[in-house]
A and B are shown apart, each in its own frame.
Chain A
Amino acid sequence: GAVVSQHPSWVICKSGTSVKIECRSLDFQATTMFWYRQFPKQSLMLMATSNEGSKATYEQGVEKDKFLINHASLTLSTLTVTSAHPEDSSFYICSASTPGGQETQYFGPGTRLLVL
């Protein structure tokens, strides 16, 4: 199956700093990637849809200036949490759709962010 990687797998940062999370599709080209956040014992909450070469589409209530998404290539999307605060601490997960209009979304292993 298709493989999606994320880096880093976990990160601890001080309040006020910015953190960048990378999402890569390793063996396929993904025109669309999705970013989710997940709080403990809760479901996945879609934050934004990232399309290669265009601006991301953010879900209602998600601050686009705080969660910067860049999808510069067909295999890489990045999420930058700017001026992170403790309430941004969460599990961030990306997924990628296989090309050709296929329906399957493959998920990365997630990135645990802890803001002190």
Chain B
Amino acid sequence: QVQLVESGGGVVQPGRSLRVSCAVSGFNFTDFGMHWVRQAPGKGLEWVAVISHDGSRTFYADSVKGRFAISRDDSKNTVSLQMSSLRVDDTAVYYCARDLWNYLFDYWGRGTLVTVSS
């Protein structure tokens, strides 16, 4: 069955960097684009970034553009989000999600919590 498992969350100080990753299984990874979506504590869902199925295209939300970078490793079936210059308002659970079609997300992980605090 399809599984997405995020890891790498934790507590980090403002201005520092953190990398979160998502390991996937149960489907042909190279057939699908992958996204990161975040959810601040007690808040709704915010799309963050996407990488195309072949890794050739990436797009970001304005709130993270220039600070975050999404990448994928097809040999390990993983997608990662490198987060730099972190701010307090980046605190959230970060979910990876599979792109079924044009930003329609058909499978999600359980998320990893990133807390930015001094």
| Physical interaction between A and B | no
Which B residues contact A (CB, under 8 angstroms)? none
